[in-house]
Structure 1
Amino acid sequence: MEEKGVQKTNSNGYTFMFAIILVVVVASVLAFTATSLQPTQRENVRQEKMQNILATVGIETDRPGAKVLYDKYIIEQLALNSEGDVDESVDAFEVDLSKELKKDDDKQIFPLYIAEVEGEKYYILPLRGNGLWNAIFGYISLKDDINTVKGATFDHVGETPGLGAEITKEWFREAFADEKVLDENGNMVGVSVVKGNNGPSKDDNKVDAISGATITGDGVSDMISERLKRYIPYFKKQGDIKVAIK
């Protein structure tokens, strides 16, 4: 009898059944863990988004403190349609730009965040485009003349470390401060990333490129100009803007 029991537990059928049970148990544990962590993960993403928005206007914070400062400095969140009108039915903060860019231009929603810091008003626009390997994205803030950059943040999905991934570095982001996005005729041209542009001028609509990352730099240039132009209809309707936008 004892030999039969040993033989049974050593059979292929027993091993196969044990493996199935083990896989089911492990899968169930992983699924439960993933489901349990989803609210925390979503909140972390929200807080990081708030951090990046605030960083464009010079407000630095850790993730846990982001919401308090966000509620303090962000005075409006607007969801705009292609005509520059506010769509009250849409929560601007929840708009996923990666999904919006897949829509026709006239069907997209354009989020806009308005900050007030020490009595100064800033307009913060989300950005998204293509780098060398995958998506690049970020935020850019404009002073109330809708021409001067206050600050910018950038991130990426899979740019090359030491090359395209340098767009996340502080030295690159700081180059955008005080750059102009309008040319001398009032046309919205954005800020271009150009190799060898390391002069002191802030009126040339250009910053110096990252060595060896031409395609990523072009992607940054393109996404800034493309996204900024989408907000022209809204800005033209605002009576307190200090410059004429074409």
Structure 2
Amino acid sequence: MEEKSVNKTNTNSYTFIFAIVMVIVVGSVLAFAATSLQPMQYENMRIDKMQSILMTVGVVAQPDEAQELYEQYITEEIVLDSEGNEREGVDAFDVDLAKELKRSATEQNFPLYKANVDGEAYYIIPLRGAGLWNAIFGYISLQNDVNTIKGATFDHLGETPGLGAEITQEWFRERFAEEKIFDDTGNLVGVSVVKGNSSASKDDNKVDAISGATITGDGVSDMISERLQHYLPYFESETDVNVSNN
């Protein structure tokens, strides 16, 4: 009797081997793609960071001009320790606040950017804190009096669209312009995001909150005051402004 031929493509071993080969091929392709795209992703992050820093001092930069404008307006990048002293050998632009916040304050690096726009000097400070669902972050710039806010930018990793995610909107950022970070007695209080604050005063250390985003607003308030306090020693030693943190 003639033996029936076996179709090897229908065997379990063939299916198993084929699956392994496909996993290896697909994994290799994805790994190659990720590696190939890494330089582009890093460059996009650099450009986005430059744009955010420049935006706080009123300079709007398109991606293709961000580097040029950054070099034009950012006059100095420094890193401070918790006592306000400059740290050598640390690149301010490369400091990752997500990692820094996992360390004690005495061990952290505090980046500071100095800008000059149309003859006016500004200090730009990176921010990072916690929103409702994940991290929130941004930059805030101070005028030369180290008290008046020039501008601010905010972003997030997972806030609710239409609610907490609104911190990225221009109308919310504009509320911080000209606000003061010190109260009348010279204490650092930052700027509080307060629900129902309809006051037009720029001396009350408050801005109106986003409806339905109380926790995210509180996160913005907390990160501003928490981050700014670490720069007090530097401002006390390097400027003519008398500040305190009582």
Question: Please, what TM-score do these two structures have when normalized by structure 1?
Answer: 0.96
Question: How far apart are residue 15 of structure 1 and its match?
Answer: 1.4
**What CA distance in whole angstroms lies between the structure 2 residues aligned with 1:132 and 1:156?**
10
Match for residue 105 of structure 2?
105
Percent identity, aligned pairs only? 67
**What CA distance in whole angstroms lies between the structure 1 residues aligned with 2:146 and 2:15?**
69
Question: How far apart are residue 104 of structure 1 and its match?
Answer: 0.7
* 1:191-211 C-alpha deviation (Å, 9 max, x unpaired): 000011122100000000011
For 1:140, give the aligned amino acid.
I
Match for residue 180 of structure 1?
180
**What CA distance in whole angstroms lies between the structure 2 residues aligned with 1:238 and 1:17?**
68
For 2:34, give the aligned amino acid.
A
* 1:64-122 C-alpha deviation (Å, 9 max, x unpaired): 22111111100000100001011011001100001111101100110000000000000
Match for residue 137 of structure 2?
137
- Structure-2 change in CA distance of 1:2 and 1:25 (3 Å): farther
**What CA distance in whole angstroms lies between the structure 2 residues aligned with 1:178 and 1:56?**
12
Question: How far apart are residue 9 of structure 1 and its match?
Answer: 2.1
Q: Return 12-21 or 214-223, whichever deviates more.
A: 12-21
Match for residue 201 of structure 2?
201
Match for residue 13 of structure 1?
13
Task: For structure 1, list consecutive stretches of 5 or more residues without a partner in the other structure.
Answer: none
Match for residue 149 of structure 1?
149
- Structure 2 counterparts to residues 231-246 of structure 1, below 5 A: 231-239=231-239, 241=240, 243-246=241-244
Q: Tell me the C-alpha RMSD between the 2 structures.
A: 1.3
**What CA distance in whole angstroms lies between the structure 2 residues aligned with 1:114 and 1:43?**
22
Match for residue 41 of structure 1?
41
Q: Return 217-226 or 62-71, whichever deviates more.
A: 62-71
Question: How far apart are residue 2 of structure 1 and its match?
Answer: 10
For 1:121, give the aligned amino acid.
A
Secondary structure, aligned partner of 1:105: coil
**What CA distance in whole angstroms lies between the structure 2 residues aligned with 1:30 and 1:2?**
45
Match for residue 76 of structure 1?
76
For 1:196, give the aligned amino acid.
G
**1:27 equivalent in alignment to 2:57:** no
Match for residue 67 of structure 1?
67
**What CA distance in whole angstroms lies between the structure 2 residues aligned with 1:107 and 1:3?**
75
* 1:2-32 C-alpha deviation (Å, 9 max, x unpaired): 952x522221111111111111111101100
**What CA distance in whole angstroms lies between the structure 2 residues aligned with 1:185 and 1:127?**
25
**1:127 equivalent in alignment to 2:127:** yes
Query: What is the aligned residue count?
Result: 243
Secondary structure, aligned partner of 1:127: strand
**What CA distance in whole angstroms lies between the structure 2 residues aligned with 1:3 and 1:83?**
85
**What CA distance in whole angstroms lies between the structure 2 residues aligned with 1:8 and 1:39?**
45
**What CA distance in whole angstroms lies between the structure 1 residues aligned with 2:32 and 2:195?**
50
**What CA distance in whole angstroms lies between the structure 2 residues aligned with 1:36 and 1:128?**
30
Task: For structure 2, list consecutive stretches of 5 or more residues without a partner in the other structure.
Answer: none
* 1:202-240 C-alpha deviation (Å, 9 max, x unpaired): 00000000111111100000000011110000000114x
**What CA distance in whole angstroms lies between the structure 2 residues aligned with 1:9 and 1:174?**
66
Question: Please, what TM-score do these two structures have when normalized by structure 2?
Answer: 0.96
For 1:148, give the aligned amino acid.
T
**What CA distance in whole angstroms lies between the structure 1 residues aligned with 2:9 and 2:177?**
71
For 2:202, give the aligned amino acid.
K
